[in-house]
Amino acid sequence: MILIADSGSTKTEWCLADQGAAVRRLLTAGTNPYFQTPEEISREIRESLRPALEGMPVEAICFYGAGCASPEKNRIVEEALASYFPVPINVYSDLVGAARSLCGDRPGIACILGTGSNSCVYDGQRITDQVSPLGFILGDEGSGATLGKMLVGDCLKRQLPEPLAREFMERYGLTPALLLERVYKRPFPNRYLASFSPFLREHLAEPAIHRLVYDSFRSFFVRNILVYKEYGRYPAHFVGSVAFHFQEVLREAAASVGVELGLIRQAPMEGLVEYHFKVGNQEA
């Protein structure tokens, strides 16, 4: 049986699969070697993952994760897993996971809109082009973190209707000072900002909120999709909670710039299980 992981900055979904069928699913905290030490990653595997799979015959692991985009960072995750699972382990970026889940063995444009955002051109086997996401400070257009950043900024700079701004601050028990402390002084500000996505979803009928989300999605297309020479040849597929829950606005923004949308999935796991069963190679 193969253990497949889809890891973002917020959570990691694990699926133990056999012959294309899920045998066991579980969630642990997110794993990102750019933001976490090897000791923190190892502790999460030891305390949350290993006990949940006690006695289960894990034969190989394919880990797809945020921050896993270089041999050095991938090795951190691989070594942490190998300490508790002495089986073949392959670590790939979450973008490879998105491409395999959304496109399988067909060419297309694969995109992630979750806590962060990303995109690539995929030829059915490998990523052939990619615009760097740059993170929520310099990029990550359309992501939960960026939407949350825009919401907070509009609230504190009096760009929202006063009743709406007051409702937001009261709902989360916020003050301007507390917001600045959480964003600038505490760990994982991207997760924190992305946690405001439900408020945005609930208030999409408000013109100011709709415009905020629409503008961020349109910026994602302009800065991450229209730059690919293949964008007119292939549909753009999406995976991630933001893409799934805001797909009506996503479609509006795509239509405004002439991008054809394909699949929109909340999470990549179903497609990854299908992919690994189809290719018939647990170490692919």
Structure confidence by residue, pLDDT tens digits, 159-179: 999 999 999 999 999 999 999
Answer left, alpha or beta for residue 104, where phi above 0 means left and psi between -120 and 50 means alpha: left
Could you tell me which residue, 201 or 280, shows the higher pLDDT? 201
Amino acid found at 281: N
For residue 56, what are the contacts with CB-CB under 8 A and spacing of at least 6?
A: 1, 16, 23, 24
Structure tokens at 259: 């991008």
Kindly report, residue by residue over 122-154, the tens digit of the pLDDT: 999 999 999 988 877 887 899 999 999 999 999
> Could you tell me the pLDDT band of residue 250, with boundaries at 50, 70 and 90?
very high
In our burial notation (b when 16+ CB lie closer than 10 A, e otherwise), range 229-262 reads eebeebbbbbbbbbbbbbbebbeebbeeeebebe
With beta carbons less than 8 A apart as the criterion, state whether 27 and 269 touch. Answer: no
Handedness of CA 203, 209, 210, 215 (dihedral sign): negative
> Which residues, listed in sequence order, are joined to residue 4 by a DSSP beta bridge?
15, 62
**pLDDT above 70 for 234:** yes
pTM of the prediction? Answer: 0.85
Structure tokens at 47: 């305390």
When the pLDDT of each residue in the chain is averaged and rounded to a whole number, the result is 91
Answer left, alpha or beta for residue 258, where phi above 0 means left and psi between -120 and 50 means alpha: left
For position 203, what pLDDT does the model report? 97
> Which residues, listed in sequence order, are joined to residue 64 by a DSSP beta bridge?
6, 92
Structure tokens at 206: 């408000």
